[in-house]
Amino acid sequence: MLILLYAVDFSDEAGYDCVWSVGRGGELQSQLNAAVNELRQKMNTAQEVERNAVRAAMLEERARYCLFIGAIKPLIVRLTFC
């Protein structure tokens, strides 16, 4: 009978430390740890890609806003001081 236990250590500031424990078989333990580490790396990569996409979208939106304000500023200045 194989027993699989999972525990989470909340002491890590950057994220959760996952600790897997397998009742028997060191090979299965190492495969499981490797899979968890690979998944963690893929999640970090996906988060970084998402962060960069949001940053690019915000910069694009800011550029549109600045272009719009730059286009109407002369009109506002002319109407305000006439």
Amino acid at 8: V
Residue-wise pLDDT tens digits, 6-63: 555 555 555 555 555 555 668 889 999 999 999 999 999 999 999 999 999 999 999 9
Q: Which of 44, 43, 22 is nearest to 32 (CA)?
A: 22
State pTM to two decimals: 0.56
Under 8 Å between Cβ of 16 and 9: yes
Q: Which of 29, 30, 6, 28 is nearest to 18 (CA)?
A: 6
